Structure 1
Amino acid sequence: MRSPVITVLEGATEDRIVFDLTGIEDGYDRLRRELPGVDIRFAMKACPVDEVLGCLAGKGAGVDAASPRELEQALRVGVPVGRMHYGNTVKSDRDIADAHRLGVRDFATDSLEDMAAIAVHAPGARVFVRLATGGEGALWGLSDKFGCTPADAVRILTAAREKGLTPSGLSVHVGSQQMTADAWHSAVERLADVLTALGRRGILLDHVNLGGGLPALGYLDRYGTPLDPPLDKIFAVIREGMRHLRKVHGEHLAFVMEPGRHLVADHGVIRAHVARLSKRRRPDGEPQYWLYLSCGKFNGLYEMDALQYRLVFPTHHDAESVPAVVAGPTCDSDDAYPHEHGLVQVPAALASGDPVWVLSSGAYAISYTTQGFNGFDPLPYVCTGGGRP
C-alpha cells in the first residue's frame, strides 16, 4: 500500500513537515500492548500540534505538560484535565496558581521550596517527586537540571503530607533517546529504595511515573550509522521492574509513562530542498563538499548536533555520490552536522531547488524552532491519516 505521507511529499512544492497520524496511533497501540495497564501521558513538548494531541487523546492518552500554556492547549483539543499533570519541576508561584485554576491537581516537584509553593498556590494537590538519574546511555542525559536525591525525596514527601498535600508518587527520567536497558534497571532499583524508606514512615504512594526516554528507531548516529536500541529488552526490563516495585510497595501501585519522541519521531517527515551543493578547500588544501539545505538547526532540525537524520533525494535514485557536510541555510556555524565525526553521502548532481526528504523528524521539529532567525521561517505542517478507534 502506498504511504499517504509519500503522496503528500511528492505533491508538495513548498517546504513543510508532514505528520502521519495513523503511524502515531499505531505506535500508541503497540506501546499499550508492550506495557499493558500503564497510563500513557504524551510528553507534548515533543510535538505540540493540535492534531497530534487530538488523535492521541482520542485513543485514551493523557498529557505531560510543562507550562500553563501547554495545559491550556491540551484542554482546548479535548484532553480531560484528569488525564494530565504538570510535569515540570521548575515553576513560578503564578505558574502553579494558573495550573490549579485550570483544574490540574497533579504536580511534579524536586525541592522543598517548590513543594511549599504548591501547598500555598494549589492547596490539597497531589505531588510526585522526581528522582535524579545519571542519564548514562542516552543521547541527552537530562541529569543536572531536574531531580533530587533519594534522601531528599523522602524529606519532600514527608513535608508535603504535613502541609496538607497528598504524597502521590515518584518519577524518574532515564534520559532522552535512552539506548540501553540497564538505565531502566538502575532507575527501578533507586525507586525501590525510596519506596521502602517511605513505607517505613507510613507513606503509601499510589503510582510511579517512569518518565520518558523510550527511543525512536529511525535515526542515524553522528557517524551516519543506524541506531539500534534494544527496544524489546527495554520493554522486558520495564515490565519486570513494575512487578518488582509492586512487590516492594503493594499490588495497588499504578504506573505512568511520558513518551514523547518514541511516539512521533519516526512519523514525521520534512519536505525540504537543496539550497546549494558546493565544494570548497579546507585550510589543509583538501577539497570538501558542503550540502546546504533549506532547513536546519533553527527551523526543524534542532537536534542535528547529536544525530543525523536520514535523507532521501527522490529525484536522484542510484546516482553517483560524494561525501558532504550537511548544513542548514543560516549564517550561523552551529547550523550544521558535526562534520568532524563523519560525512554524508549525497548525490553529486544535486542542484539548487531539488527536493530532499528528511526522515524521522517528527520530534521537536515544531517545538524547537525560532520565529524566523536570519529571515528563515519556521516550517508549516500538515497531517495525514488518523482516526483509528
Structure 2
Amino acid sequence: MRAALAVATEDVIVYDLDGIGRQYTALCAELPGFSVRFAMKACPVDEVLGHLAGLGSGFDAASPQEIVQALRTGVAPELIHYGNTVKSDANIDEAYRLGVRDFATDSPEDVAAIAEHAPGSRVFCRVATTGDGALWGLSRKFGCSPEDALRVLDAARAAGLVPSGLSVHVGSQQMTADAWGEAIETLAGVLEALNRHGIVPDRINLGGGLPALGVLDRHGRPLEPPLDKMFAVIREGVERLRAVNAAPLDFLLEPGRHLVADHGAIRAHVARLTSRHRLDGTREDWLYLSCGKFNGLYEMDQLQYRLEFPTRPGGQSVDAVVAGPTCDSDDAYAQEDGLVRVPRTIASGDPVWVHSCGAYAAAYATRGFNGFRPLPYTCVGGSAPDGAAA
C-alpha cells in the first residue's frame, strides 16, 4: 500500500479490503449464528460494500439511496433492512418498491405509515438505551421505552404488519461490556411482556456499537475496549433471550466502524507547524494538516487518530495541537489536553499517515467547505480496482 502511494502528491483515503474481510471473518467466528447487516453509513464505498457482500454480509440501510447502493452489490433485498426509524411516506414507498420488507420503527405514527405504504411488511421495534459508556450515546433521537415497544408492536399486528422483532443500539464506539448486558436484560423483559400479549418475535437485532481498536481518546491514550468481554456478554445474552421467548430466535448485528475503522488510513500532508503565544502568555504549537474535520476526520473533536510522520535521525519533538486546514475553530483535536508529539523538523508538504480513520472518513465529508474538496479514495487488496472517484 505504501509503495503504491510513495509518489502521491495529493491526499487520499486508502481502504484495505483484505483487512476488512479479516475483521468480518473474525466477528463471525466470535458470534457464530449471527447475521451481519453492515451499517452502510460508516463506509458507503462501493468496493467495500461489494467485498462484504461477497463474504455474506447484508446491509443496514437508512435511506432509499443506500438501498439502491446496496442492491448494486448483487445482494438479495431480503438481506437489506431499513434500519432508520425516521422515514417519510415517500421513503417507505420507495424502499418497498425496491423490494425491502424489513423496517425498523419506534412509534405508532411510523407503524401506520409503514402499513399504508409497505403493506404486510415485517417491523422490528427499536428499544431505547442510555448510551452510557459510549463515545457517542444514542439515547434521544432513536428508540422508545420498553412500555411503548409493546404498544408499537401491538399496533403493527393490528395494522396487518408482522411484529417480527426488537432492536437496540448501545451507542457508537461503546467502551463497556456492561452496556450490552443492560440492553439484553431490557430486551428480555420486553420479550416476556410481548409473549404474554400473544406477540412472539422471531429475531433480535443487537445493532451497532462494537468499537474500533486503533483510535485514541481525547488525551491521546489508547482506548482499549474490553472486546473479548463484550463478545462473552453477547453470547451469554443470546442464551438468556432464547430462554424467555416462546419460539426460536434469530440474531442480527449492525457493525459499522468495528469492521472498517482500523482498515482505512489517509495519506495526508503537513500544511504548517507553527508556534505562538496565547493571551495568558503561554506558548502553544500547532500542527496544521491538509485534511481535517470536513474532509475525512469528522470525529476529531471526540477522539484522536494516530499519526505517523517521516522518520528522520535525531531531532527534537514538540507537543502540538493537531488541526485541519479550514478557518473553522472546531476543525481540530480537543485543545485542552489533546496534544500530539510532533517532530520539530516537520516541514510543509511532508507526508503524514492518519491511521484508523476508515469509519466515516468518506461518509461525513462536505462537498468542499472553504474550498477544500472531499478526498478521493483507493482500495487495496480484495478484487477491487486500485482507484475510484469519491
CA contact (8 A) 2:164 2:201 kept: yes
| Alignment counterpart, residue 214 of structure 1, candidates 192, 197, 210 | 210
CA contact (8 A) 2:126 2:149 kept: yes
Specify the code of the residue in structure 1 equivalent to 2:319. P
| Alignment counterpart, residue 339 of structure 1, candidates 335, 339, 343 | 335
| Alignment counterpart, residue 107 of structure 1, candidates 97, 103, 107 | 103
Equivalent residue, structure 1, for 2:387: none
Q: Deviations over 1:210-237 (max 9, x none)?
A: 0000000000100000110000000000
CA contact (8 A) 1:315 1:355 kept: no
Equivalent residue, structure 2, for 1:43: 39
CA displacement at 1:281 relative to structure 2: 0.6
Instruction: Tell me the SS of whatever aligns to 2:6.
Output: helix
Specify the code of the residue in structure 1 equivalent to 2:149. A
Extract structure 1 runs of 4+ deviating beyond 6 A: none
> For 1:317 and 1:158, how far apart are their aligned partners in 2?
69
Equivalent residue, structure 1, for 2:347: 351
CA contact (8 A) 2:202 2:247 kept: no
| Alignment counterpart, residue 170 of structure 2, candidates 153, 156, 174 | 174
Superposition pairs for residues 132-143 of structure 1, below 5 Å? 132-143=128-139
> For 1:298 and 1:244, how far apart are their aligned partners in 2?
43
Equivalent residue, structure 1, for 2:287: 291
Equivalent residue, structure 2, for 1:7: 3
CA contact (8 A) 1:8 1:18 kept: no
Question: Which deviates further from its counterpart, 341-350 or 174-183?
Answer: 341-350
Q: Deviations over 1:39-92 (max 9, x none)?
A: 001001000000000000000000000000000011112222110100000000
> For 2:356 and 2:4, how far apart are their aligned partners in 1?
16
> For 2:232 and 2:337, how far apart are their aligned partners in 1?
33
> For 1:60 and 1:314, how far apart are their aligned partners in 2?
39
| Alignment counterpart, residue 307 of structure 1, candidates 303, 307, 315 | 303
> For 1:293 and 1:377, how far apart are their aligned partners in 2?
14
1:241 aligns with 2:237: yes
Specify the code of the residue in structure 1 equivalent to 2:28. R
Instruction: Tell me the SS of whatever aligns to 1:305.
Output: coil
Instruction: Tell me the SS of whatever aligns to 1:306.
Output: coil
Superposition pairs for residues 152-301 of structure 1, below 5 Å? 152-250=148-246, 252-301=248-297
Change (3 A) 1:281 1:42: same
Specify the code of the residue in structure 2 equivalent to 1:206. D
CA contact (8 A) 2:195 2:246 kept: no
CA contact (8 A) 1:21 1:385 kept: yes
Instruction: Tell me the SS of whatever aligns to 1:119.
Output: helix
> For 1:297 and 1:222, how far apart are their aligned partners in 2?
15
Equivalent residue, structure 2, for 1:379: 375
Q: Deviations over 1:226-253 (max 9, x none)?
A: 1100000000000000111001114610
Question: Normalized against structure 1, the TM-score is what?
Answer: 0.97
> For 1:319 and 1:221, how far apart are their aligned partners in 2?
27
> For 1:308 and 1:22, how far apart are their aligned partners in 2?
24
Specify the code of the residue in structure 1 equivalent to 2:74. G
> For 1:112 and 1:343, how far apart are their aligned partners in 2?
48
Instruction: Tell me the SS of whatever aligns to 1:31.
Output: helix
> For 1:319 and 1:255, how far apart are their aligned partners in 2?
54
> For 1:280 and 1:188, how far apart are their aligned partners in 2?
51
> For 2:315 and 2:79, how far apart are their aligned partners in 1?
50
Instruction: Tell me the SS of whatever aligns to 1:302.
Output: coil
CA displacement at 1:338 relative to structure 2: 1.0
Change (3 A) 1:213 1:317: farther
> For 1:7 and 1:154, how far apart are their aligned partners in 2?
57
> For 2:91 and 2:75, how far apart are their aligned partners in 1?
19
Equivalent residue, structure 1, for 2:78: 82
Specify the code of the residue in structure 2 equivalent to 1:171. S
Instruction: Tell me the SS of whatever aligns to 2:328.
Output: coil
Q: Deviations over 1:115-143 (max 9, x none)?
A: 11000000000000000000000000011
CA contact (8 A) 1:218 1:226 kept: yes
CA displacement at 1:286 relative to structure 2: 1.5
> For 1:318 and 1:243, how far apart are their aligned partners in 2?
57
- Unmatched runs of 5 consecutive residues or more in structure 1: none
Equivalent residue, structure 1, for 2:91: 95
Question: Normalized against structure 2, the TM-score is what?
Answer: 0.97
Equivalent residue, structure 1, for 2:360: 364
CA contact (8 A) 1:133 1:187 kept: yes
CA contact (8 A) 1:53 1:77 kept: yes
> For 1:318 and 1:142, how far apart are their aligned partners in 2?
46
Change (3 A) 1:135 1:378: same
CA contact (8 A) 2:310 2:351 kept: yes
Specify the code of the residue in structure 1 equivalent to 2:372. F
> For 1:272 and 1:286, how far apart are their aligned partners in 2?
29
> For 1:111 and 1:323, how far apart are their aligned partners in 2?
50
CA contact (8 A) 1:22 1:387 kept: no
| Alignment counterpart, residue 33 of structure 1, candidates 17, 29, 33 | 29
> For 1:256 and 1:340, how far apart are their aligned partners in 2?
40
Identity of aligned residues (%): 70
